Amino acid sequence: MSFRSIDDLQLTGKRVFVRVDFNVPLDEQRNVTDDTRIREALPTLRRVLQMGGKLIVASHLGRPKGVDPKLSLEPAARVLSELLGKPYEVLLADDCVGDGVRKMVKDQTPTQVVVLENLRFHKEEEANDPAFARALADNADLWVMDAFGTAHRAHASTAGMAAFVKEKAAGYLMLKELEFLGRLLKSPAMPYVAVLGGAKVSDKIKVIESLLPRVSSLIVGGAMAYTFLKAQGVEVGKSRVETDKLDVARRALDAADRLGKPVVLPIDHIASTDATGSAPIREVKERALPPEMMGLDIGPRTRALFAEHLRP
């Protein structure tokens, strides 16, 4: 795979809009509990700063319904400031578009980083609204895509902006992931085991369909595993299930069966009566969950099963 790299751009003096994935977990005090995604973006962000570009960072966080202070990017901006250190100053805009943002970018110095507020505070982001994409692009001379985890979504900041910014490229994280993905798709070493997680089958089904002919086996964890278990007729209690995607899951399981590819699902669970963290947590040693329980994680027998499939 060949993509234009951030190294191919003339960054000095330019307004460089970098789409990152700062969709990080927060605790009840709104502290970032895992800063991996922020750290992974650092090589691209530092490249812009070292070359004298005006760095504008944009991301979403969670699934807000309009403006939600609990989903502000302030915690991520705070961590970014700590990681970049001096002489850099990280400024959080109060929006991601508008006159205030435009003035902040205009007045920005080479040692200042502007972090735009949560893109999804505007419904136009997920709708890939052209006017919103243009408004984002108004503050950019260059557009760098470095959010591999959201690159499959046709949103204004991940796709729509491309029509309004002449010069664009992939960041270092994006390039690394694309190179790795290219090797996996073109000439993978065998045995080749794919591990999928996350919440939504709907987000992964095309990936599953693409991977099945290539892989030796497919391991499914995370919340999406419960949709697959339910599709097999297993009782999953109050676990998160995409009921409208059960037929999709069944088709994927049938396709895997026809190809002779094992789909490895949890056989025991760490469960509770809710996901708030206040209810007792216990181990359920069977595939099926009691009606009052919801699966929160895989159990020890499942860990051993997954490990067995991952050994060469």
What pLDDT is attached to residue 271?
A: 94
Q: What is the structure's pLDDT at 210?
A: 82
Nearest CA among 121, 115, 87 for reference residue 101: 115
Helix ranges (H only) for the chain are 36-50, 74-84, 99-107, 123-126, 130-137, 172-186, 201-211, 224-231, 246-259, 300-310
What's the mean pLDDT in 190-204?
83
Quick one: pLDDT at residue 152? 75
Closest by CA to 261, choosing from 270, 250, 252, 272, is 252
What pLDDT does 289 receive?
Answer: 95
Q: Is the dihedral of CA 44, 79, 70, 278 positive or negative?
A: positive
State which of 23-27, 116-120, 181-185 shows the largest mean pLDDT.
Answer: 116-120
Instruction: Inform me whether the pLDDT recorded for 301 exceeds 60.
Output: yes
- The whole-number pLDDT of residue 282 equals 93
- With CA atoms as reference, report the closest residue to 150 among 297, 41, 265, 68: 41
What is the model's pLDDT at position 131? 97
pLDDT surpassing 80 at residue 3? no
Kindly state the percentage of the chain with pLDDT values over 70.
99
SS3 39: helix
> What does the alpha-carbon distance between residue 65 and residue 67 come to, in Å, rounded to a whole number?
7
The three-point CA angle 168-25-68 to 5° equals 80
Instruction: Pick the range with the lowest mean pLDDT from 18-22, 184-188, 227-231, 285-289.
Output: 184-188
Strand partners, 55: 16, 113
34-77 pLDDT, tens digit each: 999 999 999 999 999 999 999 999 999 999 999 999 999 999 99
Contact predicate 151/207, CB 8 Å = no
pLDDT digits (tens, 9 = 90+) for 205-254: 788 888 888 889 999 998 899 999 999 999 999 999 999 989 989 999 99
Provide the pLDDT for residue 2.
54
How confident is the model over 112-138, as a mean pLDDT? 97
What is residue 139's predicted lDDT score, i.e. its pLDDT? Answer: 95
Cβ neighbors of 94 (< 8 A, separation 6 or more) are: 100, 117
Confidence of residue 1 (pLDDT cuts 50, 70, 90): very low
Rounded to whole angstroms, the Cα distance separating 202 from 190 reads 28
Q: Domains of the chain by range and CATH?
A: 6-176 (3.40.50.1260), 188-310 (3.40.50.1260)
